[in-house]
Structure formats: C-alpha cells, structure tokens
Structure 1
C-alpha cells in the first residue's frame, strides 16, 4: 500500500491558507517554493498568453519569490518588469533571486492600490491572486487604470468547480467561476479576449487532477 502522510488538521489547513495568501517567515519561504512547483504549468501558460514583444512594460501582481521572472524578461528584447506583492518575505526573496537585473524591480504593496500611474503597462500578469482581492471591483479598476490602451491582462486561476474540493480553500479564499471573472473585467472596462481551460495533475499531500483557467482581457 502507498504510504500517505496523515491529512492536515483544520488548524494546519487554516495556517496553510494564510501562508498562501501572504507567505511569512521560514514557513512562508517553504510555501513559496511549493507554489513554484505546483503552479509552474499555470504560470508558464500565463506567460505564453502575454505574447511578449520587444519593449513591453510588464506588471506582475503576486510574483511570489520571483523564480519565473527571468523567464519573462528573457522572452523578448528590452522588457521592463515590475512585480508587486503583499508579502514582505516574498518581496525580499524575489529581490535576492533577481539581484543585478537592471530592468527588474519588486515592490511591497497593500493589495488595495497599484502604486503606478495611469496607462503605465502594456502587459499585466497575475496567477492565483484573484481569490484574495479584498475589493474585487476596485482592484479590477486598478488593473484597468494602469494598463495602456490596447494592453492585455492575463489572469490565471483555479475555478470554483475545482477549488471547492480543496480543503484549505474554505479559509479566506473567495471562489470564482469564469463568468464572474468576465463580469469583473468587463465592469472595469476591459474586453474579454480569450478563456483557456486546462487540466493537469499536481501533487501536494497526494496527486490530484485539477482544472485551471488562463483568462485574457484587453483594454
């Protein structure tokens, strides 16, 4: 028989959910590494969805420890990248991992306002953050505000149909289906360009099949 670790207690699930929202301390660094592993396919597909071209100004919301930042900036010539995160631990780790890259910077943010001026970015990327937006409509408006006319925003997320079967998701996660995200973006003045749904197998406590969405909207 396969030896499986015992399931997490409710307290452990709640602690994990809190770390996924805002990684902190040594456990936060471990969670950051775990997220790199479990979300690598989603992140890669989201980056492809940006259709990066020379001179793009990129904003990533919630880059975690910045493991995939080099993949973004080396996808085309003269890409400028800005990452914002609500976790001091992740900002510090991302800065360390990407030290010396002159076109890359990371900044701590409050998760309410995006600390850049209007029409700043040609491409915006975020994966697995939408569940944690305190005021989703206000934050969608922030994304639209800093996006250049003709620019695109790519949002990667796990839909409600999958998330409701994940034990930790009942602690502090707001669950979304595709239609809700579409309404959110459209209300902010963005046009839905494409919605791609994929399935994959990931391993955490055990191997599970999950669905994820790569959602693209245009200003």
Structure 2
C-alpha cells in the first residue's frame, strides 16, 4: 500500500511558501535540498537553452544552494559565473558547496536590483523565481540592463494553468502565463526567442506526486 504524507495545514502551506521564496534556517536548508530534486530538470533545460560558449559571463538569479553550478561552468572553457540570492543562508551554502572554484562567486541581493554594472553578462539564468519579483517590470529592466547587446536570458517557470492547482501557490506567488512573461521582457527591450513547454512528474512540497508543466522562456537583447 502506498504511504501518503498527511495533508499540510494552511499554516504549514504558508510556511512552505515562505521558505520557497527565501529559504532560511534548518528548514530552509531542507527546502534547498528538496529544490535540487524538484527543479533539477527545469534547471538542466534552462542551462541547455542558453547554448553556453567559451568565455561566457553568466549570471544566475536565485541559485539556491548552488548544487548545479559546476554543470554551468564546465559547459565550456573559461566560463565565469555569478549567482545572486535574497537568502543569506542559501548564499552561504552555495559558497560552501563551490569553495575553491575561482570562476564562481555568490552575492546577497535585495530582489529589486541586480548589483552589477550595465552590459556585464552574456547570459542570465533564473528558474522558479519570477513569482517572487517585487516589481516584475522593473526587475525585467534590470535583467536587460546587465545583459550585453546580443545577450540572452532564460527564465524557467511553472505556468499559471498548472501553478493555480498547487496548494501553497496561493501564498505570496504571482502566477504567469507565457504571454505575460513575453510582455514583461518586451517592455524591458528583450525580444522573445522561444517558449518551450515541458511535462514531468515531481514530488510536491507537501509530499504528493504532481504532474506539472514548466516553461523555458528565452529572450535576447
């Protein structure tokens, strides 16, 4: 007989949603590990979509504990990586996991601005963070600002049609469809390249098996 976890209470769902937004403490470390597995396919597809090449300067927004960073920097020669996160605990954990890699650095950010100069990066990557952008249009413009001319951004997200059925998503998540994301990027001066929809089965934060769709949206400056 299948063992099912008890359904989470509304308070527990709220706590989980808060941890997904900004993991902290011991529970945050556990959520970071969980996200390594639930997001692994989305992250891999997002990395693949960037077509990384030798010498690329890459920014990741919301790398969590940074378990996947080696996959990025070993995609070519002399790829440089910078990761920014709003969670001090995730920045610390990512630094620990990637210690000794001179091409890798992590920095705490405020979720509203990107702490780098204009035209700094060839590629920008983010997965499952767009729901938490405080001012989505302003943040899209920040991404455009730090991209070099001709640079690319890849945004991985679960579309509204799927996310609206996930219990914790009613707490602090802004839900998106492809056209909304496309509009945000276009207003920021980024031209859509593609929006690829994938399907997968994952174990949700409350223990249930979920069939979900996710989208890898790419755009260029």
Normalised by the length of structure 2, the TM-score is: 0.98
Residue 208 of structure 1, CA deviation: 1.4
* Structure 1 stretches lacking a partner, 5+ long: none
Residue 206 of structure 1, CA deviation: 1.8
Runs of 4+ deviating beyond 3 Å: none
Give the equivalent residue in structure 2 for 1:126.
Answer: 126
Give the equivalent residue in structure 2 for 1:160.
Answer: 160
Alignment RMSD, CA only?
Answer: 0.5
Aligned partner (choices 199, 206, 209) of residue 207 of structure 1: 209
Classify the secondary structure of the residue corresponding to 1:34: helix
> Matches of 1:194 and 1:167 in 2, distance apart?
29
Deviates more, 1:23-32 or 1:198-207: 198-207
Classify the secondary structure of the residue corresponding to 2:2: coil
Give the equivalent residue in structure 2 for 1:87.
Answer: 87
Q: Deviations over 1:13-54 (max 9, x none)?
A: 000000000000000000000000101000000000010000
> Matches of 2:3 and 2:201 in 1, distance apart?
19
Q: How many residues align?
A: 219
> Matches of 1:147 and 1:64 in 2, distance apart?
22
Normalised by the length of structure 1, the TM-score is: 0.99
Q: Deviations over 1:130-152 (max 9, x none)?
A: 00000000000000000000000
Q: Deviations over 1:45-74 (max 9, x none)?
A: 000001000000000000000000000000
Give the equivalent residue in structure 2 for 1:217.
Answer: 219
Residue 203 of structure 1, CA deviation: 1.4
> Matches of 2:63 and 2:80 in 1, distance apart?
15
